Amino acid sequence: MNPADLPPELAAQPANLIDAVRAIAQGPLASQAYAIDRGAYPVDVMKQLAAAGAMSAHLTRADGTPGDYGLAIAAMAEAAKVCGATGFMMWCQCVAGLYMQASGNPALMGERLARHVRGETLGGTGLSNPMKSFAQIESLLLKATPVEGGYLVNGTLPWVSNLGPDHYFGAIASVQTDTQGDGASAGREMMFMLRCDAPGVTLKACPEFSGMEGTGTYSVHCKDLFVGSEDVVADPAKPYIARIRGGFVLLQCGIAAGIIQGAIDSMWAVEGQLGHVNQYLEDRPAELQAEFDALVARIMKLAETPFDTSTDYFIDVLDARAHGAELCLRAANSALMHQGARGYLMGSEVQRRVREAQFVAIVTPAIKHLRKEIARLSAEEMPA
């Protein structure tokens, strides 16, 4: 990739990125967190976070300096501590930027990536289904038929987040036919950026979720959607996915980290008043903090080499992500035990965090999916 092709916004990240994210998180985001939980999509906050550089720290800079995955995860955690749904949408925006930059497609880089980095345009990812398909959990839902100059895509993705009428997201479709008659394209997948406003695309409202209602999540229906070369991320998709999968999964740890730290903080908040009785609970804040700090140190080490394509590295990333999800569930649940009735109020962040933690555990890769992949990859690594 030629650094000269990269947008100038990637030349330098603000040195005080975490301070800037914290100010947004504890100001406008905190005041909207309840409304987001009830279904309000926080477009202004997302744009402010993007403009502060919170969703582009992981991208390669204009001078060729590699992105900082650890910083991107820390920025996501600052917001997720206040609102897990926003942390999740930051991850969506982060990986959409990664897809565009790692594509090497000039049409997706340059001005389109620059606008994404500035937060003028927003996007997400529809890779749950392909990730589950590659792990033999379900089959691919989008089909691409080669036509003159591109593909016609058909099918429906049931849930894609951080969307709006003019947003976009990374998607993968199975290529249907072998037009050359030589078998070369059989069984191939292609990845592309799906524009929500393209002819043939319809966004439909999802049924009401128990959490994550403000995440701009829609089912996406494609009827003869034309995808030209300017939207192609990778064709074939699998070698590209092998390159970005570590970073894709690792970045999700930012959502978990914020939820865990927020839960621990809310246990300490009632310690003076309720410590005399809370001391009889499991998963006390000091214990959780020690386990969490060790996990963060591990994640930050993994974040130094996000493009390591070795199986061992990926197993480590999956394991850290699974530990994050499990700790999220324990910490959020324990925070509710610590806070009692005040934490059970509808307006309390403590019960909201329980639902956010459950989402971290079920969003792809879900805990069950992580364990299946770890088992499969570990078996492959075993000497015959």
Residue among 133 and 185 whose Cβ is closer to ligand FAD: 133
The Cα 165–Cα 202 span in angstroms is: 9
- Give residue number: closest CB to ligand FAD: 128
Token pair of 253 as six digits:
């740890």
Assign residue 159 a region (left: φ > 0; alpha: ψ between -120 and 50; beta: otherwise): beta
Q: Give the one residue of 70, 124, 170, 247 binding ligand FAD; rule: CB under 6 A.
A: 124
- Taking the complex as a whole, the smallest distance from the CB of residue 52 to ligand FAD amounts, in Å, to 22
- Taking the complex as a whole, the smallest distance from the CB of residue 35 to ligand FAD amounts, in Å, to 17
Residue among 20 and 83 whose Cβ is closer to ligand FAD: 83
Asked whether 266 and 335 are in contact (CB, 8 A), the reply is: yes
- Taking the complex as a whole, the smallest distance from the CB of residue 38 to ligand FAD amounts, in Å, to 14
* CA-to-CA separations, 358 to 68, 174, 211, 332, 354, in angstroms, rounded: 28, 31, 9, 9, 6
DSSP labels, 110-142: HHHHHHHHHTSS-EEE--HHHHHHHTTSS----
Token pair of 80 as six digits:
């997720």
Q: Residue 128, interface with ligand FAD (CB under 6 A)?
A: yes
Residues from 135 through 164 that contact ligand FAD (CB under 6 A): 137-138, 159-161
Residue among 207 and 347 whose Cβ is closer to ligand FAD: 207
- Taking the complex as a whole, the smallest distance from the CB of residue 291 to ligand FAD amounts, in Å, to 25
Residue 177 CB coordination number (10 Å): 12
Residues from 76 through 95 that contact ligand FAD (CB under 6 A): 92
Residue among 213 and 283 whose Cβ is closer to ligand FAD: 213
The Cα 234–Cα 249 span in angstroms is: 19
Residue among 79 and 127 whose Cβ is closer to ligand FAD: 127
- Taking the complex as a whole, the smallest distance from the CB of residue 85 to ligand FAD amounts, in Å, to 9
Residue among 206 and 337 whose Cβ is closer to ligand FAD: 206
Which one, of 107, 207, 103, 189, lies nearest residue 142 by Cα? 189
Burial readout 89-107 (b: 16 or more C-beta within 10 A, e: otherwise) = bbbbbbbbbbbbbbbebee
The Cα 17–Cα 2 span in angstroms is: 26
Number of residues that bind ligand FAD (CB under 6 A): 19
The mark string for 203-242 relative to ligand FAD (x by CB under 6 A, - otherwise) is: ------x--x--x-x-------------------------
- Taking the complex as a whole, the smallest distance from the CB of residue 119 to ligand FAD amounts, in Å, to 18
The Cα 11–Cα 53 span in angstroms is: 11
**Residue type for position 122:** L
Residues from 249 through 268 that contact ligand FAD (CB under 6 A): none
Residues from 320 through 379 that contact ligand FAD (CB under 6 A): 362-364, 366
Piece of the chain touching ligand FAD by CB under 6 A; list 119-127, 229-237, 243-251, 314-322: 119-127
Which one, of 139, 164, 145, lies nearest residue 223 by Cα? 145
Residue among 156 and 305 whose Cβ is closer to ligand FAD: 156
Q: Is 379 exposed, middle or buried (0-12, 13-18, 19+ CB in 10 A)?
A: exposed
Q: Give the one residue of 70, 119, 123, 126 binding ligand FAD; rule: CB under 6 A.
A: 126
- Taking the complex as a whole, the smallest distance from the CB of residue 131 to ligand FAD amounts, in Å, to 8
Q: Do you find a cis peptide bond into 383, omega within 30 degrees of 0?
A: no
- Taking the complex as a whole, the smallest distance from the CB of residue 363 to ligand FAD amounts, in Å, to 4
- Taking the complex as a whole, the smallest distance from the CB of residue 3 to ligand FAD amounts, in Å, to 30
C-alpha torsion angle, residues 288, 293, 295, 299 (rounded to 10): 150
| Residues that bind ligand FAD in the complex, under the rule CB under 6 A | 92, 124-128, 137-138, 159-161, 209, 212, 215, 217, 362-364, 366
